[in-house]
Chain A
């Protein structure tokens, strides 16, 4: 049984389909010459050697009628989207794209598109290109068709995150083909006009687009030399490299220095979470509200594929940097606001999947999280339970009572309307979706840890 993915309809040179749970790529006759050039020019081998693209195997062509080739990429475990990446994840994806384009030009080819959705974020390494059919033969003298797309998908959001507000990375959720440059130009502070790269590739680029909008002028004859094209790439590269964002003072960025857990309680919690993970024996873990990944690592260090989701861009940034530095092959940090998780987006709601459509995970962890959802965001406990049941088969969850100082802080300036927010109320709310396998009162603390299984 195979089904074509609705996300891959734009490019007629091929499409992606799922067969027996694995992604495959159909190369159509229209994409045949470019694909064959990719393989025979040496570019494919060079990209794989530099770890810039996911390797694939060619499989039996009869599995997809009308295909020139059928490709089976090396296993893709979890697809995340650019609006779920931290600043450096997107910056690294931009640099990978530019490096691949420079390498393509050396081999007589070029990137036909420069969408951030062509890259896959992966654990312990920089993002990697997944769209094998992005490469086309380079017609010397032709401009880079994907220049505007690169600026919209990478340069604009990175500049906005670095110079305006880091949360603007989420603008990608609104604008599925990247941030319009006119919008980026308006939102960026005036000082960015002093950066030659941002002036050229965003502000003046936007002006040129506005000036020629609605024009009937044909540009098919426009020519630029290969040298000028390499100069353009060099400029984009140095503009991207200069963009920096350093986490400082964000809400929970310093969470683990600010906890009211004693050392003994922390040690007990760690030991129990570890034991619960061992009992659950998951292949995949989603750690929701996982901050910098302290507890995610209890799973990932055992070789379990773990995703650490957090809403704090600083936490995700720090976690990503650490996964790169330590080459953590099983931990992927991603940005996610649980109170408004990534929805299904694009044409027919089917180009980008909602978070829950990318699950469920074998095990979901929600540690020091329940009070943020139930009290900080007024979500009734039974609704928290039903979300958790949709996200994972098993659940490790920590109940944090009202007497806890973190909860007191949330209740400081508001009326306490949470009558059922206590341990019996919590257990009753979760009982309609889960059965409790283990329950443990954390030593020297008022908090309780549960291991539950979906009914």
Chain B
């Protein structure tokens, strides 16, 4: 997946699906709206982080070092 696509996907914040029927907690209106907003922003940062990790692992690989472990 390209970086641009990952970023797009990360920013995708949208509508229509009922959460799992087994949920018994009230997630809280403000908390869910905030989660949607903050996780889309964090998603973009995370995509960059993963991208750099891949580059780093590539170079580490060139020098025969063990790549980063998740």
A residues whose Cβ falls under 8 Å from a Cβ of B: 10-13, 30-31, 33-34, 112-113, 136-139, 141-149, 200-201, 204-205, 208-213, 215, 217, 219-225, 227-232, 234-235
Contact = CB atoms under 8 A, between A and B. Distances in A.
Contacts of B32: 143, 147, 219, 222
Nearest to B44: A231
B46 A145 contact: no
Nearest to B7: A227
Interface in B1-48: 6, 9-10, 12-20, 22-25, 27-40, 42-43, 45-47
Contact of B19 (A143, A208, A210, A230): A143
Given A147-B31, A211-B30, A227 B43 contact: yes
Contacts of B19: 139, 142-143, 145, 220
Q: How large is the interface on B (under 10, 10 to 19, 20 to 34, 35 or more residues)?
A: 35 or more
Given A138-B20, A146-B27, 13 more contacts: A12-B24, A112-B23, A137-B22, A142-B20, A147-B27, A205-B34, A205-B38, A208-B34, A213-B29, A223-B16, A225-B9, A231-B42, A235-B45
B14 to A, nearest CB: 5
The SS class assigned to the B binding surface is: helix
Interface in B36-69: 36-40, 42-43, 45-47, 49
17 contacts: A12-B24, A30-B22, A31-B22, A112-B22, A138-B20, A143-B19, A143-B27, A145-B25, A201-B38, A209-B28, A209-B30, A210-B30, A221-B15, A222-B32, A224-B36, A224-B39, A225-B9
Contacts of B16: 221, 223
B9 A10 contact: no
Contact of B17 (A31, A139, A200, A205): A139
Contacts of A136: 20, 22-23
A149 B36 CA distance: 16
Contact of A215 (B6, B22, B27, B29): B29
Residue picked from A10, A136, A141, A224, most chain B C-beta under 10 Å:
A224
Given A143-B19, A219-B32, A113 B10 contact: no
Given A112-B23, A217-B29, A235-B42, A224 B34 contact: no
B15 to A, nearest CB: 5
B17 to A, nearest CB: 6
B6 A208 contact: no
Nearest to A146: B25
Interface of B: 6, 9-10, 12-20, 22-25, 27-40, 42-43, 45-47, 49
Of all A-B residue pairs in the complex, the 8 with the closest CB atoms, nearest first, are: A231-B46, A212-B30, A208-B34, A209-B30, A148-B31, A228-B43, A228-B39, A231-B42
Nearest to B32: A219
Nearest to B34: A208
A149 B45 contact: no
A31 B10 CA distance: 31
A219 B33 CA distance: 7
A146 B24 CA distance: 10
Contacts of B43: 225, 227-228, 231
Nearest to B31: A148
A223 B23 contact: no
A137 B23 CA distance: 10
Contacts of B42: 200, 228, 231-232, 234-235
Contacts of A231: 10, 39, 42-43, 45-47
A147 B37 CA distance: 13
Residue picked from B15, B39, B47, most chain A C-beta under 10 Å:
B39
A314 B49 CA distance: 36
A223 B39 CA distance: 11
Contact of B33 (A113, A208, A210, A232): A208
A224 B46 CA distance: 14
Contacts of A211: 30
